[in-house]
């Protein structure tokens, strides 16, 4: 194999595919990139066993002097490419004799050991019949707005993924961890078949790192009984899905409430940030919200000290004192782009809902117990 | 005590003094700031036992409603000030009843426990007769240009500091770690008494983080038999010195050489950076320089792979092959601001000198053993 391209083209492709390189593995071949050169161009692939990424440098952006396939350690190749020249436009030549790869640019030449490409796992064949098309911008937003509320603890594997459900031309994405539920409803412009599948959180965060977030570019998501795939630009990302029947949460999603308040989002966020100064991991004191006429009070009373803050609020319904883990409020507020947010509550034991009128986002957060006399 | 100032003034002073707050200590009072309010203004002090910083918010920039002294946990106060308002100009009020400090701004009020200020160590009295004045810019440069070559391992305590020697109206600063020596000579505009003192590396790196680096602002450095002090702006930094008779290195500083090469600094730096891709901690392979007519070759041969690079060079004297730990070359080259650098060498066993004509900087680096047949 012998190929030529620019430092930038190669490094970009290596970084994209690199998202699926295995980090801790007993199979060293999964730490490699498989590089295939043919008349299509140069394709670079990684596969960590759960997820695979294949990206192409099309033939018009590179030169394939000799077709072939090699496997090389991903991290090493990426470091070499980063340092081989200070210019992004520098020409880089990769050539292999089946044992060593030579990587050269200008007056620098690296020689590193190849791995056996035959050991590299083949991509499963996937049925790409059931598709939905989103803009890169929309997919990135959906992931950003929900991914924080998956569970990182895989004692319940379904909680480490997100439900993608398409029904009545709406894509509903749900993430939950037992303390909260985050929901994003996205109207779709076309009509699609019913889909209900659980995509691993890791797959979603990696795909959202690779895509640019451009509103003019599309991602085609295909659903197979065992896999999900994302196609965009010159890249295919393929991932196993999580088996199981996802939680039925419809019954939790009441629209009734006894207390409703609307506050400025930034003021609320700043006040909650203040409360976190006094709340440490090993001292699980809650943030208490004291909802009164025209006013939202925030109180903390911890081993470290106390905080008493307030902000103006528009209130409908009854006064209420209710307590939360401030992290869950912060996570939701940080991804809401509106200037004001509205909270819907029933009592101090029932879930609080943060949602917009159209329910494009719904954040359900469970309150925590507290002793009202202390606040 | 009751004081008023802006978030920015207070936070800035807390951050400056915070440089001397103890991190791991068995004396909790050393994790505190001592805040004293009187007719001078508000002074904030920290002392970790080795080093103390005292900084003043002068009375024209604050309001002392009630004089007094308090001690509060430094980290907590800094976090509260950072989050108490989103505006740097917001007024912050600190008031103490001798048990709790109230810190308030706008509609937020924190209450935290005070510590007993009586426990706070007093500053030693220091003789400030022997002084030298440098600009903040010059002091920052001197530290940046040498600090990397102190030893982090304190088996030889003198190597963890830097020699500051004033003689014949030149300030010579030396740092060495057994593998290399870094020297900065700074001509002084005034005449000073002879000084030879070892300043702890930590003191120098902290002072250079606090000072702005402004060429128009001065730092007054005073030398006492046991202490060194730095005065700048409204701040005093005081530190113990390291006892001992510093290494006499004059005999190592020969000006003789058999091979001299001049290369473009950035090209040389980039090529050495490349070599580090192949050299890992646990595989101490050297970087071999092959000096020939008009050309500097760089070779690495490690378990990971090989590198062969070259750059144009102006050479005087004999051809030479010589090997180095690339880190030591990198550290020196990164702080040299000139476009070209010149290396002076005798043979593959003798130190290499990187220095300018006027010897404002001298980097002596010991070569390492290698097997010439393998390169």
Q: Look at residue A323 and tell me whether its pLDDT is greater than 80.
A: yes
Mutation to test the A interface, candidates B72, B76, B83, most A Cβ within 10 Å: B83
A113, B305: Cβ pair inside 8 Å?
yes
Size of interface A-B (CB pairs under 8 A): 79
Query: To 5 degrees, how large is the angle CA B140–CA B142–CA B146?
Result: 120
d(CA A41, nearest CA chain B) in Å: 27
CA distance A244 to A157: 9
CA distance B41 to A3: 70
Q: Are A114 and A103 in contact (CB under 8 A)?
A: no
- Residue from B197, B368, B228 nearest B289 by CA: B368
Confidence of residue A27 (pLDDT cuts 50, 70, 90): very high
B111, A306: Cβ pair inside 8 Å?
yes
d(CA B313, nearest CA chain A) in Å: 14
Mutation to test the A interface, candidates B100, B277, B279, B290, most A Cβ within 10 Å: B277
DSSP 3-state of B334: helix
% chain A with pLDDT above 90: 92
Query: Which residues of chain B from 17 to 56 reach within 8 Å of chain A, CB to CB?
Result: none
Query: Which residues of chain A from 307 to 326 reach within 8 Å of chain B, CB to CB?
Result: 307-311
Task: Give the model's pLDDT for residue B282.
Answer: 73
The predicted-structure confidence for B108-124, as pLDDT tens digits, reads as follows 999 999 999 999 999 99
Mutation to test the B interface, candidates A105, A277, A299, most B Cβ within 10 Å: A277
Residues with Cβ within 8 Å of A371's Cβ and at least 6 positions away in sequence, in order, are none
B113, A305: Cβ pair inside 8 Å?
yes
The predicted-structure confidence for B320-331, as pLDDT tens digits, reads as follows 999 999 999 999
Partnered with residue B324 across adjacent β-strands are B287
Q: What is the 3-state secondary structure (H, E, C) of chain B?
A: CEEEEEHHHHHHHHHHHHCCCCCCCCCHHHHEEEEEEECCEEEEEEECCCEEEEEEEEHHHCEEEECEEEEEEHHHHHHHHHHCCCCCCCEEEEEECCCEEEEEECCEEEEEECECHHHCCCCCCCCCCEEEEEEHHHHHHHHHHHHHHCCCCCCCHHHHEEEEEEECCEEEEEEECCCEEEEEEEECCCCCCCEEEEEEHHHHHHHHHHCCCCCCCEEEEEECCCEEEEEECCEEEEEECECCCCCCCHHHCCCCCCEEEEEEHHHHHHHHHHHHCCCCCCCCCCEEEEEECCEEEEEEECCCEEEEEEEECEEEECCEEEEECHHHHHHHHHHCCCCEEEEEECCCCCCEEEECCCCCEEEEECCECCCHHHC
B274, A83: Cβ pair inside 8 Å?
yes
CA distance A151 to A158: 9
Under DSSP, the state recorded for B106 is: T
Exposed, middle or buried by CB within 10 Å (0-12, 13-18, 19+), for B161?
A: buried
Confidence of residue A129 (pLDDT cuts 50, 70, 90): confident
A80 touches chain B (CB under 8 A): yes
CA distance B212 to B138: 11
Across the interface, of B108, B266, B305, the residue whose CB is closest to A307 is B108
For B87, name the nearest residue in chain A, comparing CA atoms only: A270
Residues of B in contact with A111 (CB under 8 A): 305-308
Task: Give the model's pLDDT for residue A374.
Answer: 87
Task: Give the model's pLDDT for residue B50.
Answer: 94
ipTM of the complex: 0.90
Neighbours of A301 (CB within 10 A): 18
For A304, name the nearest residue in chain B, comparing CA atoms only: B112
pTM listed for this prediction = 0.92
DSSP 3-state of A293: coil
For B272, name the nearest residue in chain A, comparing CA atoms only: A83
Across the interface, of B108, B274, B305, the residue whose CB is closest to A309 is B108
Average pLDDT over residues A222-235: 96
Residues of B in contact with A86 (CB under 8 A): 266, 270
A109 touches chain B (CB under 8 A): yes
Strand ordering across the sheet containing A320-324? A320-324, A287-292, A295-301, A305-312, B108-113, B100-105, B91-96, B2-6, B63-66
B309, A109: Cβ pair inside 8 Å?
yes
Task: Give the model's pLDDT for residue A153.
Answer: 87
Partnered with residue A197 across adjacent β-strands are A164
Stretches in chain B below the pLDDT threshold 70: none
Phi-psi label, residue B155: left if phi above 0, alpha if psi -120 to 50, beta otherwise: alpha
DSSP 3-state of A275: helix
d(CA A109, nearest CA chain B) in Å: 5
A277, B79: Cβ pair inside 8 Å?
yes
Average pLDDT over residues A324-329: 96
Confidence of residue A155 (pLDDT cuts 50, 70, 90): confident
Task: Give the model's pLDDT for residue A5.
Answer: 98
Residues of A in contact with B309 (CB under 8 A): 107-109
Which tokens belong to B276? 């580090």
Residues of B in contact with A309 (CB under 8 A): 107-109
Neighbours of A360 (CB within 10 A): 14
A110, B80: Cβ pair inside 8 Å?
no
Across the interface, of A84, A277, A306, the residue whose CB is closest to B83 is A277
A99 touches chain B (CB under 8 A): no
Confidence of residue A284 (pLDDT cuts 50, 70, 90): confident
């Amino acid at each position: 194999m012998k190929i030529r391209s620019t430092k930038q083209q190669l490094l970009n492709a290596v970084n994209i595919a690199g998202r699926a390189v295995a980090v801790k593995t007993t199979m060293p071949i999964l730490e490699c990139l498989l590089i295939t050169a043919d008349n299509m161009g140069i394709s670079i692939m990684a596969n960590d066993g759960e997820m695979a990424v294949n990206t192409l440098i099309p033939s018009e952006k590179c030169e394939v002097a000799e077709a072939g396939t090699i496997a090389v350690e991903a991290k090493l190749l990426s470091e070499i490419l980063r340092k081989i020249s200070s210019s992004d436009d520098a020409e880089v030549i990769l050539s292999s004799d089946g044992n060593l790869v030579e990587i050269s640019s200008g007056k620098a030449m690296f020689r590193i050991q190849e791995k056996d490409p035959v050991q590299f796992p083949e991509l499963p064949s996937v049925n790409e019949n059931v598709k939905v098309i989103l803009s890169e911008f929309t997919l990135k937003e959906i992931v950003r707005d929900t991914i924080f509320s998956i569970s990182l603890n895989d004692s319940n594997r379904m909680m480490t993924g997100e439900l993608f459900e398409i029904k009545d031309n709406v894509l509903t994405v749900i993430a939950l961890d037992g303390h909260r539920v985050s929901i994003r409803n996205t109207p779709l412009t076309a009509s699609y078949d019913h889909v209900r599948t659980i995509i691993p959180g890791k797959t979603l965060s990696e795909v959202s790192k690779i895509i640019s977030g451009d509103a003019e570019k599309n991602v085609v998501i295909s659903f197979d009984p065992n896999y999900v795939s994302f196609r965009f630009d010159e890249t295919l990302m393929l991932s196993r899905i999580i088996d199981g029947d996802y939680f039925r949460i419809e019954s939790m999603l009441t629209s009734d409430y006894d207390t409703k308040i609307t506050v400025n989002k930034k003021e609320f966020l700043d006040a909650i940030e203040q409360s976190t100064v006094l709340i440490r991991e090993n001292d699980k004191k809650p943030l208490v919200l004291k909802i009164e006429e025209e006013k939202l009070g925030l109180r903390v009373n911890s081993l470290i000290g106390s905080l008493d803050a307030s902000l103006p609020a528009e209130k409908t319904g009854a006064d209420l004192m209710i307590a939360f883990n401030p992290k869950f409020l912060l996570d939701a507020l940080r991804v809401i782009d509106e200037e004001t947010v509205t909270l819907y509550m029933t009592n101090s034991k029932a879930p609080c809902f943060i949602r917009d009128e159209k329910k494009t986002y719904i954040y359900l957060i469970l309150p925590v117990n507290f002793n009202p006399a202390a606040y």
